Amino acid sequence: MLQTLTEQHQFDSEVYQFIFDQIESVPHLEALLLIWNSRPQPWTIENLTQRLYVSRDLALRLLQDLVRRGLIAIVPGPPEGYRYESASREQEQLMTAVDATYRRELVRISTMIHAKPSASVQEFARAFRLTKERP
């Protein structure tokens, strides 16, 4: 299926916006894509730790963040696992575009993620935002 340049630009914009809004770090994105690409097979913390070469604590935080954002779901265990569950056809299309874009533009996407302020910095800044008083 061929896409027009306008359609491709729209997908790219949606992908970049999704990554900016939902993804805190490259390991978050890689964990999400690993889980998405192996759907409906669940992932355990240990599997993710080995695949991403991260500590168990970091893998757990990544998974908890993705669950909190509604991007993956917990599969009751034992052992407890995590899997991707699509909420809609649009979300499935977006994830397909995110996967393809990350494969095609690894450096660009990684740089974009690293350039974002951390979630804690964003929360701190929000606390000090001045709001215009209403008359």
pTM of the entire predicted model: 0.77
Give residue 8's pLDDT.
Answer: 52
- 1 has a pLDDT exceeding 50: no
- 123 has a pLDDT exceeding 60: no
- Please give the single-letter amino acid code of residue 24: E
Let me know if 51 is exposed, middle or buried by CB neighbors in 10 A (0-12, 13-18, 19+).
Answer: middle
- Please give the single-letter amino acid code of residue 34: L
> Is the Cα dihedral 47, 50, 56, 58 positive or negative?
negative
- 3 has a pLDDT exceeding 80: no
Give residue 46's pLDDT.
Answer: 93
The tens digit of pLDDT for each residue in 87-100 reads: 788 889 999 999 99
5-32: average pLDDT: 81
